[in-house]
Chains A and B, each alone.
Chain A
Amino acid sequence: MAATVDKNRPSPEWIAELRRRFPCETEIDRVLTRKLERRAGPPYAPVTLAQLQAGTESLLKTQLVEPFTVRDCRWLSGGASKLQMAFTLDWSQPGVGRVSTPLVLRMEPSEAITETSRLREFQIIKAMEGVVPVPPTYWIDAYGEHLPYPAIVYGFAEGVTKPSASSSNVSGVGTFMPPEIRETLGQQFVDHLAITHSFDWRQADLGAYDRPAIGTQALEWALNHWERVWEEDAHEDVPLMRLTMAWLRRNMPPVDHVSVVHGDYRLGNFLYTEQDLKISAWLDWELAYLGDRHEDLSWCAKRPFGHLAEDGKTFLIGGFLPMQAFVARYEKASGLKVDPKRMQYYDIFNNYKAVAIVLATGYRAPRNGKTHQDVLVSWITGISYSLLDELRTQMAQTAELL
């Protein structure tokens, strides 16, 4: 007995079948199709700082008229998905004059644990500038015309993801927020989410985003997106994932208000300045889409992204505030309701999505040597089984499975 499809060498017919079975947003379809078409090609080859510097200079020559210098290139760590190079740019900044600006190049590897669009990431951050704190974003090489792979040049945002004295696991999981900073940061944590969800995206330049109608269209696209990822990348099939997707499709709640959904809004994905406790930037917008706010609401409330209060009983969302206070502040700030049933639905959706990322893509990308940190990505695969166990508990609690 053998599995029927060789996912390491996908055939054009199989790719076409997946695209037909799982229609999703145009730009998401493009990046997923590109991933499959390149999969049988060579693994990720190490890129030198000199190559990245040359690629960055090539990109900037198309953007800058005045002379410039790229210098002090060095690697940055952090994150499981993209390569990052810090550098300093000496240039003539429009309206400012000659300056030296510290910048970050964020580039995809050949395949990432989250296969996403740099164009969407660039557009959403530009759209959110001045709305919520985001890192300054300068230039994009959307299709890898200058650099080995698509990339964005960011400015540095000042701040830390966790208290300097704190420790945590990969991606900020397990961070403890001390009581004295909870109220100030927690209010911003909720308010920025409320502002994001009530933002009028219709006027924004979001050409790489398909615009869903009120109803279930956004959710159908999202379900197709993540089931497609599961089909493309999973090695071992998991019956629970099949059962969950069937349940998610049978129980789709209509979207009452189409919002910008961050897609990974949580502790660990914002920077704050410790001297004045101000959130200085929301990071990692690559999974953003137009959909139901309850995805973000239930995701940021997950246990790994918070902790218990000093009473040992009260769970603090993000390490900041209990659910009741979180909901009350969010509803007041956004004018949008929090629906417990949709919170439950998106909690299940989020676990499906997380397992598709860490178990399916987390296996397939390093299996083919496609990332710059295969050992980290394959290590993260291990968290899948805790997520699946949580998903099993959630599914057991849904009425039709009892």
Chain B
Amino acid sequence: MELRPAFQIPAIIKSLSDVVLPAVDPANKLAQEQGQLVVAMLHLIAQRLPLQYRYDRHELSRYLALADALASAGAAIPEAADALHALAASAAEGRLLMAAAGTEPAALEAANLALRERVGAVVTAAAATAQDVALKAINAAVMAHTQEELLRERAWIALQGWEGPASGLPAIETLIGS
């Protein structure tokens, strides 16, 4: 799926900076100011988006460390017992999530890219074969995968309206799990 923020945001910034903002009425100070802020905000988003997941994971690790420190330091304070108990429950959930949060989004994207490229190379190489049965099996696998993938991709960009309101596309949330 090519339409992802890392691709879209720079295009939006360029359009705003090169075309739209220079055409905004210089006398409209409110529009001028907010236009500049929109571009600045988009620059910030574009710069930080690749780090967002790592940032959240790092923050969780620091809060887990703080929770441990508070549990130790607060053990002698009866008045804090209920709050510390609740904190311990949340920290336990956090530790489970922390253990599962091992792969960064960029690594997933890179893995998908590499697999796509290598699947493509297999399809091209197999096309040269005279092994009809094997070739048909490869083609069938690719076609089945493609059907599912395209449903997902079309649902992802349904809001663009290329297929109209009666497209019958399912909501993307129903296709990619919880």
Contact = CB atoms under 8 A, between A and B. Distances in A.
Instruction: Determine if chain A interacts with chain B.
Output: yes
Interface of A: 1-4, 43, 46, 235-243, 245-246, 249-250, 359, 363, 366-367, 369, 372-379, 381-386, 388-389, 392, 395-396, 400-401
A239 B142 contact: yes
Nearest to B143: A396
Nearest to A384: B2
A240 B153 CA distance: 14
A238 B143 contact: no
A82 B143 CA distance: 36
Q: Per DSSP, are chain B's interface residues mostly helix, strand or loop, or mixed?
A: helix
Given A239-B123, A240-B142, A401-B143, A385 B113 contact: no
Given A240-B146, A389-B154, A392-B147, A363 B113 contact: no
Interface of B: 1-3, 7-8, 10-12, 14-15, 18-19, 22, 110-117, 119-121, 123-124, 127, 136, 139-140, 142-143, 145-147, 150, 153-154, 156-157, 160, 162-163
Nearest to B22: A46
Nearest to B110: A2
Contacts of A373: 15, 19
Contacts of B1: 236
26 contacts: A3-B113, A4-B117, A46-B19, A235-B113, A237-B113, A237-B117, A239-B142, A240-B142, A240-B143, A242-B121, A242-B124, A243-B127, A243-B142, A246-B124, A246-B127, A249-B127, A366-B11, A369-B14, A378-B8, A382-B157, A385-B150, A385-B156, A385-B157, A386-B154, A388-B146, A401-B143
A238 B113 CA distance: 10
B147 A236 contact: no
Q: Per DSSP, are chain A's interface residues mostly helix, strand or loop, or mixed?
A: helix
B150 A392 contact: yes
A381 B113 contact: no
Contact of A386 (B8, B12, B142, B162): B162
Nearest to A388: B150
A277 B35 CA distance: 44
Contacts of A359: 2
A400 B14 CA distance: 46
B2 A236 contact: yes
Nearest to A2: B110
A185 B25 CA distance: 43
A1 B146 contact: no
B112 to A, nearest CB: 8
Contact of A243 (B2, B12, B111, B139): B139
B44 to A, nearest CB: 18
B145 to A, nearest CB: 7
Contacts of A1: 110-111, 113-115
A189 B156 CA distance: 37
A239 B2 contact: no
Contacts of A382: 3, 157, 160, 162
B36 to A, nearest CB: 17
Contacts of A245: 124
Given A46-B19, A392-B147, A401-B139, A363 B2 contact: yes
A367 B113 contact: no
A36 B9 CA distance: 24
A384 B145 CA distance: 17
A389 B147 CA distance: 7
Q: Identify the interface centre among A4, A379, A382, A392: most chain B CB within 10 Å of its CB.
A: A382
B66 to A, nearest CB: 36
Contacts of B160: 379, 382-383
Contact of B11 (A236, A243, A246, A375): A375
Contacts of A381: 2-3
Given A2-B113, A383-B162, A388-B150, A237 B120 contact: yes
